[in-house]
Amino acid sequence: MGQGTMRVSERAMSKEYFPIGVLARTEQQSKIPFLDDLSHHMVVVAAANLATGSPEAVLASLMHDMFKGLMVWRAGVRGSNWLHFSTKPGIYEKLIPPSIRVNAKQVESFIQKHHDSRDIANPIRSVESIQGPVTSLESKIILDQVPSKTKALVVKLSGRYRWLLAFYINQVLKQQLTDHYGNTLREILAVQNVVYHYVPANLERGYSDIDDCLEALNPKALQVYRDGDSLHITLPVLRLSRPMTISYGKFNALEQTQDSLRVPFGEALSLMAFDGATSGKAKLLYVDAGFTITLDQSVQTFLNKLKGLPHIAYSASDIARSLEGTFRGSYRCSFCGEGADSKHRLSKTSKTSRFTSIQVLLDSRLYVCPTCAVGYELEEQLRRKQDHFRIPMPALVSKIRLRPEYDELINFIRGDNYLMSLAGEMWLQILSEVWYQRYQQRDDASYLLDPKALMLPVEVEFIPQAIYPLLHTQQKKFALESSLASSLVLPASVKDIDADEFQSIRRAYQHLGVSADSLLKRIKQIYEPLYKGG
């Protein structure tokens, strides 16, 4: 490797880039990249194949694209092809140790035929096909077109208290999903975590034949093994200078260090997707692995965990129906306009300090729907704490570009074009979450101001996104005087840095040579008081 390349690689791996991964795939005809990480892509396919109950289908899914990071391209009739599997007999079979109890020959067959249209029953192909969770091309998920390999709980989000409860239910759902995916994986493959090791391929040059490349590769860069309840898979990457580990499994929370990321299954395999239209509906989507979770279960689990909440005159089932927008009451909720049957008492202080509605100010007891009743009491309990609850949303991508160290190898990735799949949205949500976690840990200001992810061979500039369902401010919140009659419920002014402002800040940082720390300090002075009480 030349001196110049080495220098570029080292800078590429510097702290401001996170996490390190490899592009999952490109679109067949146009070769436009799908923004999703390779390891995540394989976990999504494997999760969908848990429903088959076949250890071979699941293991094959977890390994099927493992050579992608070797960056083997070959010119074809319709442009370059990204070669990423070998058809050489025994190549995968010999990677699988006897401690993993599968029919290794069948695993190999599934992998080697995952692009073969004649292999109709191929489990990887069937998940990646147009109805699967992976290929959905929409960048904004249209609720009616959610692919069949996903399941969903529908919630109605007309009003902030509904957001707050939906946020908690989403948290509960993710924990339930983490347990379910982990347990199902253990039943099928006797492990409950999958650990991917991105390792430097240490090859002198690029290759255009996968078997030549594999022959030149140090065998240590290609391993599959079991260690306790974890399955380890290495993913060799050409021109990667530093190893990086991404694990998916039965973890309690997303955790990161400089070179590793641990993602609970529930975080990796679910998404809160919005209709985008005026219906105010959202879906809590998750990859269909053969089990079903109901909204009633999630609400009940959530209520069981709650402590010290005043009496709510509704049942768990009422709350679930209300959250999904099907609860029929004789009255309308004073906060969201949905069906309500019971009056709820508001605290004196919250009334005078937080609401501007004449109705709220005059009556001490209001008709409130089951969702808002819980949401209101939750907020009463939580708003004094200085914790900033947020729902991480898929990060916005502002720019992608080919890394210079791949210039001479890859000629088809140009410009800023990319495609999104549902799985990609899930990954971008993880990116946002990683950013917010680093923000809370007061990480390196340069990373926070100019976040980039390496998804080799490209780098991705992104803007983290989140929704704050709970405000820590004494400012007036609801302006309801004209609301119920006009079906309009407006939260009082809420200010966070929006995407345009984020881009302006990034540009200022990139081009004006402002010190990162002083810029960050200034931003905090401007924005933070809005999130704190008083």
Task: Provide the binding-site residues for Zn ion, judged by CB under 5 A.
Answer: 333, 335-336, 338, 369, 372
Q: Least separation, in Å, of the C-beta of 445 and Zn ion?
A: 41
Q: Least separation, in Å, of the C-beta of 311 and Zn ion?
A: 17
Q: Least separation, in Å, of the C-beta of 159 and Zn ion?
A: 6
Asked if 509 and 449 touch (Cβ cutoff 8 Å), the reply is yes
Q: Least separation, in Å, of the C-beta of 278 and Zn ion?
A: 17
Q: Least separation, in Å, of the C-beta of 376 and Zn ion?
A: 9
Asked if 246 and 261 touch (Cβ cutoff 8 Å), the reply is yes
User: How far, in Å, CA of 132 to CA of 202, rounded?
Assistant: 35
User: How far, in Å, CA of 343 to CA of 363, rounded?
Assistant: 10
- Cβ-based nearer residue to Zn ion, 284 or 374: 374
- Cβ-based nearer residue to Zn ion, 332 or 383: 332
Helices (H) and strands (E) in the chain, counts: 18, 22
Phi, psi dihedral angles at 226 (to 5 degrees): -110, 135
Q: Least separation, in Å, of the C-beta of 354 and Zn ion?
A: 15
- Cβ-based nearer residue to Zn ion, 336 or 426: 336
- Cβ-based nearer residue to Zn ion, 90 or 310: 310
Give one word for 258, left, alpha or beta, with left for phi > 0 and alpha for psi -120 to 50: alpha
Q: Least separation, in Å, of the C-beta of 344 and Zn ion?
A: 10
- Cβ-based nearer residue to Zn ion, 37 or 338: 338
H or E, element range at 83: strand 79-83
Specify the length of the chain in residues.
Answer: 534
- Cβ-based nearer residue to Zn ion, 376 or 447: 376
- Cβ-based nearer residue to Zn ion, 132 or 337: 337
Q: Least separation, in Å, of the C-beta of 337 and Zn ion?
A: 7
Beta strand pairing status for 230-237 and 193-200? parallel
Q: Least separation, in Å, of the C-beta of 322 and Zn ion?
A: 7
Residues 6+ apart with CB under 8 A from 94: none
Give me the DSSP letters along 91-135: TTGGGS-TTS-S-HHHHHHHHHTTT-TT-TT-HHHHHHSTTSTTT
Q: What share of the chain is helix, strand, coil (3-state, %, to 5)?
A: 40, 25, 40
Phi, psi dihedral angles at 465 (to 5 degrees): -130, 140
Q: Least separation, in Å, of the C-beta of 377 and Zn ion?
A: 13
Q: Least separation, in Å, of the C-beta of 367 and Zn ion?
A: 9
Q: Smallest Cα–Cα separation from 107: which of 46, 43, 48?
A: 46
- Cβ-based nearer residue to Zn ion, 84 or 160: 160
Long-range contacts of 85-92 (CB under 8 A, 24+ apart): 85/111, 85/112, 85/114, 85/115, 85/210, 86/112, 86/210, 86/211, 86/214, 87/112, 88/211, 88/214, 91/214, 92/63
- Cβ-based nearer residue to Zn ion, 195 or 366: 366
Q: Which DSSP symbol is given to 159?
A: S
Q: Least separation, in Å, of the C-beta of 171 and Zn ion?
A: 20
255 bridge partner residues: 262
- Cβ-based nearer residue to Zn ion, 22 or 368: 368
Asked if 251 and 262 touch (Cβ cutoff 8 Å), the reply is yes
Asked if 360 and 366 touch (Cβ cutoff 8 Å), the reply is yes
Asked if 295 and 286 touch (Cβ cutoff 8 Å), the reply is no
Q: Least separation, in Å, of the C-beta of 375 and Zn ion?
A: 8
- Cβ-based nearer residue to Zn ion, 280 or 290: 280
- Cβ-based nearer residue to Zn ion, 247 or 371: 371
Residue 56 CA from chain centroid, whole number: 26
- Cβ-based nearer residue to Zn ion, 21 or 159: 159
Asked if 375 and 161 touch (Cβ cutoff 8 Å), the reply is yes
Asked if 494 and 473 touch (Cβ cutoff 8 Å), the reply is no
Q: Smallest Cα–Cα separation from 60: which of 220, 231, 290, 213?
A: 231
